[in-house]
Amino acid sequence: MCHRLISRICRENGELRNGHYLSQEGELEQFTEHADMIIGENLPILMQQPLKVKSHCWFAFRHSAEVLFVEKIKVRGIVIREYEAGESDKRLTVFCKEHGRLMVYARGARKPTSKFLSVAQMFTYADFVLTKGRGFYSLAQADIIESFYPLREDYDRLMAAYQVAEVCEKTLWDNLESDKLLLLLLRALSVLVKGDLPPTQISSVFLLRFFDVFGLRPQAEACVICNAGVESGAFLCAEGLVCRSHKPARSILMSAGAVSALRFALDSELKESFFFAASDNVIVELTKAALLLWESHFEWKLKSL
């Protein structure tokens, strides 16, 4: 009886294609009113059925309504976090162009035969088709653009990639566009894949550029207090470079090479900002500078460090 009622409701409101009920009227209220009328006509028969049958009938009706009026969106984004869910599912955090951070549920993504097995992986950049649910999206389809697979072949590069992804995951807002940060993330991952530069240099430059995108760019041209020129022997605090005469309590000493690298990373075009020659000591200084800025502006520590 349940299937006959649902078939009649959907047949009179639309047509059946490939197992999905499609409405011609496109109004959920009209569909619901029509369904109530049909179920009301059959209520005496329905009430005589066992409780299990009645419950199944109403559940099938609700499911048909949800399928009928499901909302789909197409987005381009990259997976920046994944969680296991249930026996074979995954919950993904996807950083999307024009949409910011979206929470996506990938059903069956952990099954060896799943069509989502490869796309539901960290750092997968793809075109996603999502269906909107209550508080989250479900993955319906995906076409991979770039998997960044070589990151998994080197531990240091992988850890640097996890660090930049964690920065994005912690600072993004749901459904709030942040395309400049997305471009920065994709550029950092692309440089990491090539393997020509030390991973710590790439992650440090990413963090420095991140503060620029986030509106927290440190002043690197002159002392933030007296505006005097600073070169060798300058100190870095949360606001930027400080001369020796105004050294703040929480700061680190920067060599001339580290000051030059800091300025290059902040002032260069994005495609060039990662590429500069630096000694191991300068890279260490840049790393300390980036972490000092992070800890000065954000309360939580990065787990990937």
CATH number at residue 95: 2.40.50.140
Which pLDDT score is estimated for 39? 54
Q: Which residues contact 126 (CB under 8 A, 6 or more apart)?
A: 76, 77, 78, 119, 142, 143, 144, 145
Residue 242's closest CA among 264, 260, 227? 227
Confidence check: pLDDT of 19 > 60: no
Same domain assignment for residues 11 and 38: yes
Which sign, positive or negative, has the C-alpha torsion 220, 221, 222, 227?
negative
Q: Is 304 among the domain residues?
A: no
One DSSP character per residue, the chain reads: -HHHHHHHHHHHHEEEETTEEEESS--HHHHHHHHHHHHHHTHHHHHTS-HHHHHHHHHHHHHHHHHHT--EEEEEEEEEEEEEETTTEEEEEEEETTTEEEEEEETTTTSTT-TTTTTSSTT-EEEEEEEE-SSSEEEEEEEEEE--GGGGG-HHHHHHHHHHHHHHHHH--BT---HHHHHHHHHHHHHHHHT-S-HHHHHHHHHHHHHHHTT-PPB-SB-TTT--B-BTBEEEETTEEE-GGG--SS-EEE-HHHHHHHHHHHHS-TTTTT-----HHHHHHHHHHHHHHHHHH-SSPPTT-
Same domain assignment for residues 264 and 293: yes
Cβ atoms of residues 114 and 199 within 8 Å: no
- pLDDT 10s digits, 232-269: 778 999 999 998 888 888 899 999 999 999 999 999 99
Q: Quick one: pLDDT band at residue 15, thresholds 50, 70, 90? A: very low
Same domain assignment for residues 35 and 83: no
Same domain assignment for residues 190 and 274: yes
Same domain assignment for residues 175 and 289: yes
Beta partners for residue 76, in sequence order: 127
Q: Is 303 among the domain residues?
A: no
Which pLDDT score is estimated for 180? 96
Q: Is 249 among the domain residues?
A: yes
CATH number at residue 261: 1.20.1440.120
Q: Is 17 among the domain residues?
A: yes
Same domain assignment for residues 94 and 156: no
Looking at the 3D structure of the chain, how many domains does it have?
Answer: 3
Token pair of 82 as six digits: 């994944």
Q: Is 233 among the domain residues?
A: yes
C-alpha–C-alpha distance, residues 305 and 302, integer Å: 6
**What's this model's pTM, rounded to 2 decimal places?**
0.77
Which pLDDT score is estimated for 218? 93
Confidence check: pLDDT of 23 > 50: no
Beta partners for residue 219, in sequence order: 240
Same domain assignment for residues 141 and 155: no
Average pLDDT, stretch 163-189?
94
Same domain assignment for residues 195 and 275: yes
Q: Is 305 among the domain residues?
A: no
Domain boundary among 147, 166, 192: 147
Domain boundary among 147, 170, 204: 147
Residue 38, domain extent: 2-68
Same domain assignment for residues 141 and 59: no
Token pair of 37 as six digits: 């009328």
Which pLDDT score is estimated for 57? 54
Same domain assignment for residues 198 and 98: no
- pLDDT 10s digits, 36-56: 555 555 555 555 555 555 455
Which pLDDT score is estimated for 72? 86
Which pLDDT score is estimated for 42? 57
C-alpha–C-alpha distance, residues 262 and 210, integer Å: 13
C-alpha–C-alpha distance, residues 121 and 138, integer Å: 15
Same domain assignment for residues 210 and 286: yes
Domain boundary among 124, 147, 170: 147
Q: Is 302 among the domain residues?
A: no
Token pair of 123 as six digits: 């750092």
Same domain assignment for residues 30 and 139: no
